[in-house]
């Protein structure tokens, strides 16, 4: 039984080979359909076969999608990262949607967003966010919160004063532009994930739990950012919004499991070299970078809800902050939508928009 905790870049090559073979099988099946049609024979079984082959090909293409990078590039300098005395980079994570089914709740999509900041940038963000809250609300003891912020509901309604709503939007846009951070995110299209991967069992490496899948994909991209940021090597620490004792304990467990076992594409040693063990949990109160995570999680949710065809309220501003290494080629981008085999061209348009900002 092969070990699964050291990363498996070879798996992508295998998936790519399967996709090519399935493509050829699909062409043969179509040719057979033409012959059967000429013979006035029923096409029912062959049409089902063609559909099944196409579905399997898309699944294998999804698995093979990405650039294979040697894990040695991310290797640390010592066996004990803390001995290096590296400075800290902080990742703040929030979510939108529901990772598990709930009655009377739309469970088609789930997104998580991570905002990466250095400590000095955290302090600057809090100062600027407090200034906006004093100006518009005369108090700072509350967090900006979605989706109320973009819908002008609750305190953001401003008694229907359109001019004040627009002024507030401008202030939030200024806050996003002025703040220094990198963005990471993962969006799971839950129905497609269940049909293409969970029910078929085609990929034994993938977690079947939606939350674990999303956090794995986000942290794979975050350690890529830490590992390739050679000018200022930093250890990463991760903070989640506090949701309750049981939920927080679950997140802590899954985080530890990821560090110990690794993922299909990133080894456990790489995760442990770049991430501090243990999570921090913080409730939403007052000004904090978790507000930005909340905003971007909502942006991602609305984006994938539209099958990546619309640009949500602050999309252009956040797009400029998405992590993008080198030319932003496959496997080097800070946001992952999964599965994406049927909407990849639409996603590429947004990715290219980020790349062209260089």
Q: In this structure, are residues 259 and 271 in contact, taking their beta carbons and an 8 Å threshold?
A: yes
For residue 190, being part of any structural domain is answered with: yes
Structure tokens at 92: 């703040």
Same domain for 79 and 44: no
Same domain for 174 and 82: yes
For residue 144, being part of any structural domain is answered with: yes
Q: What is the pLDDT of residues 32-46, one digit of tens each?
A: 888 888 888 888 888
Q: Taking the alpha carbons of 84, 85, 87, 91 in that order, is the dihedral positive or negative?
A: positive
Same domain for 317 and 175: yes
For residue 1, being part of any structural domain is answered with: no
Same domain for 93 and 140: yes
For residue 339, being part of any structural domain is answered with: yes
Helix locations, the chain, DSSP H? 10-38, 44-64, 119-137, 148-151, 162-178, 190-193, 210-228, 245-261, 268-274, 290-305, 315-319, 344-355
Domains contained in the chain, number:
2
For residue 240, being part of any structural domain is answered with: yes
Angle at CA of residue 319, ends 267 and 348, nearest 5°: 70
Tell whether omega for the bond before 354 is within 30 degrees of 0, i.e. cis.
no
For residue 5, being part of any structural domain is answered with: no
Look up the domain containing 149 and give its range.
73-355
Q: What is the DSSP letter of 254?
A: H
Q: In this structure, are residues 275 and 236 in contact, taking their beta carbons and an 8 Å threshold?
A: yes
For residue 264, being part of any structural domain is answered with: yes
Same domain for 293 and 209: yes
For residue 67, being part of any structural domain is answered with: no
Per-residue pLDDT 10s for the chain (358 aa) are 333 334 555 566 567 677 778 888 888 888 888 888 888 888 888 888 888 888 888 777 776 654 444 444 555 555 566 666 778 899 999 998 877 655 445 568 999 999 999 988 999 999 999 999 999 999 999 999 999 999 999 999 999 999 999 999 999 999 999 999 999 999 999 988 988 888 888 877 788 889 999 999 999 999 999 988 656 778 999 999 998 999 899 899 989 988 988 888 888 888 998 999 999 999 988 999 999 999 999 999 999 999 888 889 999 999 889 998 866 555 578 999 999 888 888 888 777 765 555 4
pTM metric for this prediction: 0.78
Same domain for 184 and 122: yes
Same domain for 56 and 139: no
Same domain for 221 and 182: yes
Same domain for 272 and 344: yes
Estimate the crossing angle of helix 10-38 against helix 44-64, to 10 degrees: 160
How far apart CA 153 and CA 130 sit, in angstroms, is 20
Same domain for 102 and 152: yes
Estimate the crossing angle of helix 119-137 against helix 162-178, to 10 degrees: 170
Q: What is the DSSP letter of 322?
A: B
pLDDT the model gives residue 83: 65
Angle at CA of residue 306, ends 300 and 307, nearest 5°: 90
How far apart CA 358 and CA 330 sit, in angstroms, is 17
How far apart CA 111 and CA 337 sit, in angstroms, is 9
Same domain for 94 and 131: yes
The full DSSP string for 139-201 is --SS---TTHHHHT-GGGGGGG-HHHHHHHHHHHHHHHHHS--EEEEEEEEHHHHIIIIITTT
Ramachandran class of 244: left when φ > 0, alpha when ψ lies in -120 to 50, beta otherwise: left
Q: In this structure, are residues 184 and 215 in contact, taking their beta carbons and an 8 Å threshold?
A: no
Same domain for 32 and 92: no
Closest CA to 247 of 89, 93, 141, 91: 93
């Amino acid at each position: 039984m092969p070990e699964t905790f050291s990363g498996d870049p070879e798996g992508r090559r295998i998936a790519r080979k399967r996709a090519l073979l399935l493509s050829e099988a699909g062409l043969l099946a179509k040719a057979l359909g033409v012959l059967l049609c000429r013979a006035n024979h029923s096409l029912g079984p062959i049409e089902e076969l063609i559909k099944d082959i196409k579905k399997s090909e898309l699944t294998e293409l999804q698995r093979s999608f990405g650039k294979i990078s040697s894990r040695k590039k991310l290797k640390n300098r010592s066996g004990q990262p803390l001995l290096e005395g590296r400075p800290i980079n902080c990742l703040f994570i929030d979510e939108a949607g529901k990772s598990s089914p709930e009655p009377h709740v739309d469970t088609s999509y789930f997104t998580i967003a991570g905002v990466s900041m250095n400590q000095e940038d955290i302090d600057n963000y809090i100062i600027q966010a407090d200034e906006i809250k004093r100006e518009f609300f005369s108090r700072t003891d509350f967090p900006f919160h979605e989706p109320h912020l973009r819908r002008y509901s609750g305190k953001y309604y401003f008694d229907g004063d359109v001019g004040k709503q627009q002024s507030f939007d401008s202030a939030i846009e200024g806050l996003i532009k002025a703040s220094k951070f990198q963005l990471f995110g993962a969006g799971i299209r839950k129905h497609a994930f269940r049909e293409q991967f969970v029910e078929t069992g085609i990929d034994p490496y993938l977690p079947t739990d939606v939350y674990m899948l999303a956090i794995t994909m986000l942290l794979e991209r975050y350690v890529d950012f830490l590992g390739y940021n050679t000018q200022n090597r930093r250890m990463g620490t991760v903070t989640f919004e506090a949701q309750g004792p049981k939920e927080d304990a679950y997140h802590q467990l899954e985080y530890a499991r990821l560090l110990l076992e690794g993922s299909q594409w990133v080894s456990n040693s790489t995760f442990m070299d770049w991430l501090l063990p243990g999570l921090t949990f913080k409730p939403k109160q007052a000004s904090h970078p978790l507000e930005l995570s909340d905003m971007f999680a909502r942006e991602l949710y609305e984006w994938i809800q539209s099958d990546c065809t619309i640009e949500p309220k602050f999309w252009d501003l956040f797009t400029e902050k998405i992590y993008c290494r080198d030319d932003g080629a496959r496997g080097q981008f800070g946001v992952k939508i999964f599965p994406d085999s049927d909407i990849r061209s639409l996603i590429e348009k947004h990715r290219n928009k980020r790349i062209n900002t260089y």
